[in-house]
A and B are shown apart, each in its own frame.
Chain A
Amino acid sequence: NAGVTQTPKFRVLKTGQSMTLLCAQDMNHEYMYWYRQDPGMGLRLIHYSVGEGTTAKGEVPDGYNVSRLKKQNFLLGLESAAPSQTSVYFCASSYGAGASLLGEQYFGPGTRLTVT
């Protein structure tokens, strides 16, 4: 099993350009998440999905959109990139049921995005 994979690993964008980050998981997880990691701030939740065809906003959703057309994929889009979106983006997935597994998330390796 590959676990959680992210594409691309690195990207440099100019202000105003658009791009899509792809996350894929092969563990049949119901829940998927996008976080951003900035120095000194830990990880912050951008958007999440509790199942195929559903998405919802997290704490820092402005400037991002997401889609979950297939259970195994979760896409994060930047319509018009801004320098404030320079960050490392992590995708994660988890099981949807089972109190014993609550909070156990599996993370991808991250995408380092620079917006100039």
Chain B
Amino acid sequence: GNSVTQMEGPVTLSEEAFLTINCTYTATGYPSLFWYVQYPGEGLQLLLKATKADDKGSNKGFEATYRKETTSFHLEKGSVQVSDSAVYFCALSDQAGRRALTFGSGTRLQVQP
């Protein structure tokens, strides 16, 4: 079955530091890949996505590239802000049928001023 593995947190960084959160996946076929973000007390929001190999998703300064050869979708940001403090979830989607998401366990990011 499908599965997603992401690095454990918390990740603590100073403002303007470089961020990488690792994500690898196991899936049959060619899934779409996502990063969702959860701010304190809120539901999840889509941050970015990629639907095929070598696609790069980007939003709000965050980027991730779909690497089929390494089955990875690592999240990066060049300069984090305090407002980026949240929990980040890597996920993949069924290609058909139920269209449900399989999530990683989440990585908490804490950015200190």
A and B: interacting chains: yes
* Across-interface contacts of A45 in B (CB, < 8 A): 100-101
Interface centre among B43, B46, B49, B106 (most CB of A within 10 A): B43
* Across-interface contacts of A42 in B (CB, < 8 A): 4, 89, 103-106
Number of A-B contacts (CB under 8 A): 62
* Across-interface contacts of A102 in B (CB, < 8 A): 32, 51, 93, 95, 99
Q: Are A103 and B34 in contact (CB under 8 A)?
A: yes
Q: What is the CA–CA distance of A52 and B43 in the complex, to the nearest angstrom?
A: 24
Q: Are B43 and A43 in contact (CB under 8 A)?
A: no
CB-nearest residue of chain B to A104? B46
Q: Are A33 and B43 in contact (CB under 8 A)?
A: no
CB distance from A5 to the nearest CB of B (A): 10
Interface segment among A14-22, A69-77, A105-113: the answer is A105-113
Q: Are A103 and B93 in contact (CB under 8 A)?
A: yes
A:78-114 near B, CB below 8 Å: 90, 92, 94, 96, 99-100, 102-105, 107-110
Interface centre among B32, B101, B104 (most CB of A within 10 A): B101
Q: Are A110 and B89 in contact (CB under 8 A)?
A: no
* Across-interface contacts of B41 in A (CB, < 8 A): 109
* Across-interface contacts of B93 in A (CB, < 8 A): 102-103
* Across-interface contacts of A90 in B (CB, < 8 A): 43-44
Q: What is the CA–CA distance of A107 and B36 in the complex, to the nearest angstrom?
A: 10
Q: Assuming A58-B100, A105-B101, A108-B43, what are 15 further A-B pairs, CB within 8 angstroms?
A: A31-B99, A33-B100, A42-B89, A42-B105, A43-B44, A44-B103, A45-B100, A94-B99, A99-B51, A102-B32, A103-B99, A103-B101, A105-B44, A107-B43, A107-B44
- Name B's A-contacting residues (CB within 8 A): 4, 32, 34, 41-46, 49, 51, 89, 91-93, 95, 98-101, 103-106
8 pairs from A and B in contact (CB 8 Å cutoff) = A50-B98, A100-B51, A102-B99, A103-B93, A103-B101, A104-B46, A104-B49, A107-B43
- Sorted from nearest, which 9 A-B pairs have the closest CB atoms? A103-B93, A107-B43, A42-B103, A107-B44, A42-B105, A43-B103, A103-B32, A109-B43, A45-B100
